[in-house]
Chains A and B, each alone.
Chain A
Amino acid sequence: MIVAQQKPINDIAQMINDCKKVLFVGCAGCVTVCLAGGEKETEVMASAMRIKRTLENNPLEAITYTCTRQCDPEYIASLDNVVKDVDAIVSLACGVGVQYLAERFKDKWVVPALDTKFIGGSTVHGVWEEKCGLCGECILHRTGGICPIIRCSKSILNGPCGGSQYGKCEVNKDIDCAWQLIYDRMKALGKLDKLMEIQPPKDWSKSRDGGPRKAIREDVMIDE
């Protein structure tokens, strides 16, 4: 999932300081799971913002709506009637959701309530870790299911580097050395010989180095 975290409440307040009526839009997708922008968080933020503005003698009418997803046009279409008389829209989705709202509601001031951090998953309730760097050509079959692109601080393909110490990364002793993990797992699987194959430089044109990416599936496209 996409993992995001809420911006400081005062930073969000600043963005909508001169607005009288604001729509807070939650997303029932990834940000609900990482507890940053689901229905509950959206209600809490709207409530906190109303209290803050009342205390400042600048009352705010805050309304809320939570979309099934903000990253699909059909799910934000239901906002068409809701946005009509609002001065601003605060999106509690990832950066994708914010952009979908900004694109659809061209005359509205759309602002982000979250900082979109990474894609990953939870380890225990309340802790999320980055797991994939969206490189565009997955190599997990060569690395025992452990991603060196994002979990190795240097993204090296033929690791470990000289900074690997007692299983930890030299960048920070709280970070596991991904290449130590890869080595241990490949050893347990009896596949150490695969690690002897030298990986050639990665084709980064499949990642962000080729500009913004697009995925197309002709077979599922609906003809007009």
Chain B
Amino acid sequence: MPEFEPKIVAFCCRYCAYTAADLAGSMRLQYSPNIRVVEMPCSGTIEHGVILNAFEKGADGVYIAGCNLGDCHFLKGNVRAIKRVAAVKKVLDEIGLGGDRLEFFHVPASEGTKFAKVANDMTERIRQLGPSPLNKSAAGNAKKEGGQTA
């Protein structure tokens, strides 16, 4: 049975993590191909509903990547994103999907290696958790292969 390949949505602030992704590319760093990067004007623009929507549409994991504390281009966007992520984690725990599938990471623009590490770490975490029961394609594939779905 082929290893489960998670689908992960990475919401990345353009002033840090998104720029770090470019840097990772320029540095020719290899990182997990499982992440789908969505450019955000600031990590603080993330909304509860958008995160839930990604899970509803079948994402196995979601993360928000913003600047280091004190470095936000809009001063406190990352602080707000962290709070929102915590609130949605709670909802995910309550409804049974599990808050572990969601995370916030600090990825400064100058750290291409950190961008790659975060992508790899999150992929590994989600691989351990198994496919989201809402990810129809993963469940279907696993069944076809005679494998177990989480």
Interface residues of A (CB under 8 A from B): 8-10, 40, 43-44, 47-52, 54-56
Contacts and interface: CB of A to CB of B under 8 A. Distances in A.
16 contacts: A40-B47, A40-B48, A44-B48, A44-B52, A44-B91, A47-B49, A47-B52, A47-B53, A47-B56, A48-B95, A51-B56, A54-B133, A55-B95, A55-B97, A55-B134, A56-B96
A51 B95 contact: yes
Given A50-B56, A51-B56, A54-B133, A43 B49 contact: yes
Interface string B22-56: 00000000000000000000000001110011011
A187 B128 CA distance: 66
Given A40-B49, A43-B49, A47-B49, A8 B94 contact: yes
Interface residues of B, number: 14
B98 to A, nearest CB: 10
Contacts of A9: 91, 94-95
A43 B53 CA distance: 10
Interface of B: 47-49, 52-53, 55-56, 91, 94-97, 133-134
What does DSSP make chain A's interface, helix, strand, loop or mixed? helix
B70 to A, nearest CB: 20
A55 B47 contact: no
Contact of B97 (A8, A10, A49, A51): A51
Nearest to B98: A55
Contacts of B49: 40, 43-44, 47
B87 to A, nearest CB: 10
Top 6 A-B pairs ranked by shortest CB distance?
Answer: A52-B95, A47-B52, A44-B49, A55-B96, A43-B49, A44-B48
Contacts of B94: 8-10, 48
B141 to A, nearest CB: 18
Given A48-B52, A51-B95, A54-B133, 12 more contacts: A9-B91, A9-B94, A10-B94, A40-B48, A43-B49, A47-B56, A48-B94, A50-B56, A51-B56, A52-B96, A54-B134, A56-B96
Contacts of A49: 95
Nearest to B47: A40
A92 to B, nearest CB: 14
A51 B48 contact: no
**Which of B47, B52, B53, B97 counts the most A-chain CB atoms under 10 A from its CB?**
B52
B5 to A, nearest CB: 21
Nearest to A57: B133
A70 B29 CA distance: 55
B54 to A, nearest CB: 10
Contacts of A47: 49, 52-53, 56
A79 B49 CA distance: 23
B91 A48 contact: yes
